[in-house]
Amino acid sequence: MDSLKRLLAENPRILEMRYREREAVCEPASIPFAVRLDGVGFGKRLRDFPPPRSRAVHNALVEVAKALASTHGADHAHVVSDEINLLFLRHTPYGGRTFKIISVLAAQASAELTVKLGRPLYFDGRVVKLRDHCDAATYLLFRARVGLNNYVIQEARRAGLVDERTPRIEEMLKKVEVADYELAWGTFLNKEAKYRAESDVCTALAPLCKVC
């Protein structure tokens, strides 16, 4: 599977260091940049949904991501686990005011998902600076790889395969059945495709950069 091979080719620790240092605090946000929205305490608030990830919750998050992207002009979006990432490549909402962007998008996501799932749910947010379109594609690869790692580890724990040492993901994938890869690494949305859902990593990122 090309998508799986491509994600496994990335080292999430290296990418974590690369993008962590680029999280904007108060500087004006200038394109290109990503807005990352993370669910707060979703594990407890959504514990009555099927583990490790619920298709119903994921579909609701995808609908929220579409609404955010279309409202604020994001070029791409990615949804995985309790996380929404929005890429702004050609348009900067709210004049690039970082705190405004973070607060409004996190508030909108919280309100819309609360309505869809019928319980209070909250997001925090951050802005991540990107260098160019290829860097934006690598950033989404990073978030998809983190999502895949976490999904496989949760499944391995449920199967009793993880003790004091967490095996490498390549080892766990030989023993863990991934029933739904879209839940594992997420759904991609592209403005040019009218935010139609795409689960193949290489196809989804091709408009940004040749990463596969």
Give mean pLDDT, residues 5-30: 90
Angle separating helix axes 133-158 and 12-20, nearest 10 degrees: 130
Q: Identify the sign of the CA torsion 212, 208, 130, 149.
A: negative
Let me know if residue 5 belongs to a domain: no
Encode pLDDT of 137-191 as tens digits: 999 999 999 999 999 999 988 888 877 777 788 888 888 889 899 999 999 999 9
pTM: 0.93
CATH number for the domain harbouring residue 57: 3.30.70.3000
Q: Do the domain assignments include residue 179?
A: yes
Quote the tokens at residue 105: 């998008």
Domain total for the chain?
1
CB-based contacts of 98: which residues, under 8 Å, 6+ apart? 24, 25, 26, 27, 28, 29, 127
Distance, in Å, from the CA atom of 155 to the CA atom of 120, rounded to the nearest integer, reads: 27
Residue among 209, 196, 191 nearest 69 (CA): 191
| 184: in domain | yes
Segment 107-149, tens digit of pLDDT: 999 999 999 999 999 999 999 999 999 999 999 999 999 999 9
Two structure tokens written together for 16: 């974590």
Structure tokens at 200: 């193949």
Domain-located, residue 4: no
Q: What φ, ψ does residue 46 adopt, rounded to 5°?
A: -115, 25
207 domain residue, yes or no: no
- Residue 45, domain extent: 24-199
Asked whether residue 6 is domain-assigned, the answer is no
Token pair in block for residue 212: 């596969």
- Give domain status of residue 16, yes or no: no
Does residue 209 belong to any structural domain of this protein? no
